[in-house]
Amino acid sequence: MTRSERLVLVDHDDPGLPVVEQCRLLKVARSTLYYRPVPLRSDDLAVMRRMDELHLAWPFYGSRRMAAVLRREGWAVNRKRAKRLMRVMAIEAIYQKPNTSRGHPDHKVYPYLLRGLAIGRPNQVWCADITYIPMAKGFVYLVAVMDWFSRRVVSWRLSITMETDFCVEALTEAMERHGQPEIFNTDQGVQFTSAAFLDELAARGVQISMDGKGRYLDNIFIERLWRSLKYEEVYIKAYGSVPEARRNIGEWLAFYNDVRPHQALDYRTPREVFDGEACEHVDNASASLRDAPALPTCSQAHQREKEVIMY
């Protein structure tokens, strides 16, 4: 049960059990009942937008380097401010454990199962991740569930908080609409190591795989999705509301799945590959190469096979 769900159970009008005692039994701080979040200033939102762009371009920038680059560009940002805003955005340098991947001490962590695995069909491996989406005023978080072989986004959800609920909803919808994978891979974030999320997978007999700490390449396909989404859709618009963001992101993801040809898929669409018009296999090369620049595409794999035959 999430903290939000526990807070809903508090009954302020209960004559026999004081609020203090209810909070103690539910293991929530009483102050959270009365806390009202203060919206971020407009200048903070502008800095966060630029930090998101820098993080996509150079994901190895930590708070020190991020602050230095922003100051060179004219922003009044010290390391303390950069660190605070990166925490809000749930990002950190890739050589450290990302904030979206911040685990819980009581949550179980599973081993990475994709090392050396040849992924050769849809629904063999799915993955999921969360990213920050800037708007004209404010921001939201986006979770997506992707089929690793076809790159098809099989479900997604937007949320104004980093609670676990929206991740579980996306997972449930994906499996109800598209079946279930043999292996499900995520990072070690608290949302993906929660009992609610893992129980949904375990109940269906799905094998659970988790990235190593700071292993950017372990989930590289969905990282590429975030880059495409932000440069082709999010950064060229300024969403005025959450419904507008949801509508526009949904339209772009439909375009990504059904219309946009992918070089890595021999210029097929993810839907075509997911429905059976697939390449022979996708090698998970990044699982064994620590500093590999990218995973090979299907066409690159075919080219290597031709070269082997020729020689």
Residues 29-42: pLDDT tens digits?
A: 777 776 666 778 88
Backbone φ/ψ region at 208: left (φ over 0), alpha (ψ -120 to 50), beta: beta
| pLDDT value, residue 187 | 86
Which pLDDT value is given to residue 128? Answer: 94
DSSP string, 243-301: HHHHHHHHHHHHHHHHT--BGGGTTB-HHHHHTT---S-EE-GGGT-TT-SSPPPHHHH
Predicted local confidence at residue 284, as pLDDT: 54
Residue range 55-67: average pLDDT?
A: 90
Residues 6 or more apart whose Cβ sits within 8 Å of residue 96: 62, 214
Residue 307 clears pLDDT 90, i.e. is over it: no
For the chain, which residues make up each domain, given as ranges? 3-34, 42-96, 118-287
pLDDT, average across residues 249-270: 94
Res 216: pLDDT: 52
**CATH architecture label of 118-287:** 2-Layer Sandwich (3.30)
> Among residues of the chain, what percentage have pLDDT more than 90?
49
Q: Which of 58-67, 98-107, 252-261, 294-303 has the highest average model confidence (pLDDT)?
A: 252-261
pLDDT confidence of residue 4: 62
Q: Mean pLDDT across the stretch 73-94?
A: 90
Q: Of residues 8 and 202, which shows the higher confidence score?
A: 202
Q: Which of 67-81, 184-198, 296-310 has the highest mean pLDDT?
A: 67-81
Q: What is the pLDDT of residue 57?
A: 87
Q: Decide: 108 and 166 in contact? Cβ < 8 Å.
A: no
- CA nearest neighbour of 19 among 28, 31, 10, 27: 10
Tokens linked to 74: 């004219």
pLDDT tens column, 215-228: 555 578 888 899 99
